[in-house]
Amino acid sequence: MPKHPISLTMQMGEMGSVIVFKADEIPIGQLPTLPYTLVVLSLVNCNLSDDSFPREFGNIPSLQKLDLSHNPICSVPDFIRGLTGLDQLAFGHCTRLKLLVRIPRVNMLVAIHCDSLEKVTFQSISCIPGRFINCYNSKLVEIEYWYKLEPIGRVDAEMRSVLGLCNLESMEAIGIRMYTPDLLSSGAGEIGPIQGLHESGIYSTFLPGHEVPGQFSDRSEGSSVSFTVPPLLPNLRIRGLNIFTVYTGYFNGYSYSLPNPPLLRVCNKTKGLKWIYAPSCHGVPYDENQVMWLSHWKLGSGLESGDEVSVSVFMKPSFRVKECGIQLVYEQEDEMSTQHNTIVPSYLSAIGRDRQNLFQEHTT
């Protein structure tokens, strides 16, 4: 059985046992009928469009590696979702590709230099690839089961209220330099509008400056703050925490000095629980400017009256935490209360062990 790449000069009879077919730069109309035995198929720069894939492409049960790089496709071809044995899938330099929707289970997914790519979703949570190579996708704002970025004006109004983000017009008029996993690969963060980040059951936003919205009962001029959970009022229970951090520093924008994300650690010393979170996307101060990280943590039953709790912030040495603070968030029946009762946003879920970038463990 031949294992080397073949050319179109091969006779159709010889195609029956082929397992590797590299048809790079060959127009789709000139391709022969593909054999069911294929394991590796490369269709790089074949001028493929969304409606140009032959139906029989989906009838290759043995296919494990598929490369569709350098093609003008805008979305995932339908036939890919039927390739149950697929192990590696590549979309490099597909500059018109906007959506990767309902990706099947693969071990490695590659999306590099897809300049129009905005969103990646999977058929189910079990289809998250073991390795996702994504970089230089400057418009990518959502990877399902990982993170979602959206303009602050589109964020649930109740969540903005919980965090005290009420002056929306003034917020939309300012910008901040944000870094995402893709931009961290290039060191090319640009100043853009204020964004809301949904990740690991935590909602975050990064704002320029140091003016903290809302009422924070416990504050500290440093990188840590501790408090004891007070007795609860009748018919109230703790929903979670609002946490703010103000930090400053200097970053010159070059990839060799890329900033590590800030890291928050919440410890319930009484229960021996610890939560650690480093956001995938974060604001970066330039020229000693200040950035405020504001987040809401839905901790569920992780906090009770009398618990001793500490919050600590860790950052790269070139950055400095100037202040941090916490605010308990309560709920009554189906309502959430800080100073006022507000409805709990449906997209929030309790923080737990199965969340990416967030780890809950028993302390020793």
Domains of the chain as residue ranges with CATH: 12-145 (3.80.10), 148-362 (no CATH)
Which pLDDT band holds residue 364 (cuts at 50, 70, 90)? very low
Question: What is the C-alpha end-to-end distance of the chain, expressed in Å?
Answer: 58
Question: Whole-number mean pLDDT of the chain?
Answer: 80
Q: Please, what sign has the CA dihedral across residues 361, 346, 238, 194?
A: positive
Which pLDDT band holds residue 355 (cuts at 50, 70, 90)? very low
Count CA atoms closer than 13 A to 294's CA, side-chain side.
25
> Which range among 53-57, 164-168, 239-243 has the greatest average pLDDT?
239-243
Question: CA dihedral in degrees (148, 154, 155, 160; nearest 10)?
Answer: 150
C-beta of residue 358 within 8 angstroms of C-beta of residue 351? yes
Write out pLDDT tens, residues 229-246. 999 888 888 888 999 999
Two structure tokens written together for 270:
């009484």
Q: Is the pLDDT of residue 264 over 70?
A: yes
CB atoms within 10 A of CB 207: 22
pLDDT of residue 234: 84
Q: Is the pLDDT of residue 5 over 60?
A: no
Q: Is the pLDDT of residue 51 over 70?
A: yes
Instruction: Average the pLDDT over 103-121 and give the result.
Output: 95
Instruction: Average the pLDDT over 7-31 and give the result.
Output: 71
Q: Is the pLDDT of residue 354 over 50?
A: no
Q: Which one is predicted more confidently, 364 or 30?
A: 30
C-beta of residue 33 within 8 angstroms of C-beta of residue 56? yes
Two structure tokens written together for 145:
């089961």
Identify the weakest region by mean pLDDT among 118-122, 206-210, 341-345: 341-345
Rg (CA), the chain: 25
Q: Which one is predicted more confidently, 12 or 283?
A: 283
pLDDT of residue 134: 87
Residue owning tokens 């009256």: 305
Q: In angstroms, rounded to a whole number, what is the distance separating the alpha carbons of residues 320 and 233?
A: 37
Q: For residue 339, give the 3-state DSSP assignment.
A: coil
**Secondary structure, 3-state, 292-334:** EEEEEEECHHHCCCCCEEEEEEECCCCEEEEEEEEEEEEEECC
Contacts for 9 with CB less than 8 Å, ≥ 6 apart? none
Two structure tokens written together for 166:
């009420």
Amino acid at 167: N
Q: Which of these, 248, 242, 245, lies nearest to 263 by C-alpha position?
A: 245
Q: Please, what sign has the CA dihedral across residues 324, 351, 107, 111?
A: negative
**Whole-prediction pTM:** 0.80
Percent with pLDDT over 70 in the chain = 79
pLDDT of residue 32: 80
pLDDT of residue 187: 47
Amino acid at 32: P
CA angle 361, 363, 364 (to 5 degrees): 140
As a residue count, the chain comes to 364
Amino acid at 278: A
Identify the weakest region by mean pLDDT among 116-130, 147-161, 251-265, 336-350: 336-350
C-beta of residue 286 within 8 angstroms of C-beta of residue 152? no
C-beta of residue 283 within 8 angstroms of C-beta of residue 291? yes
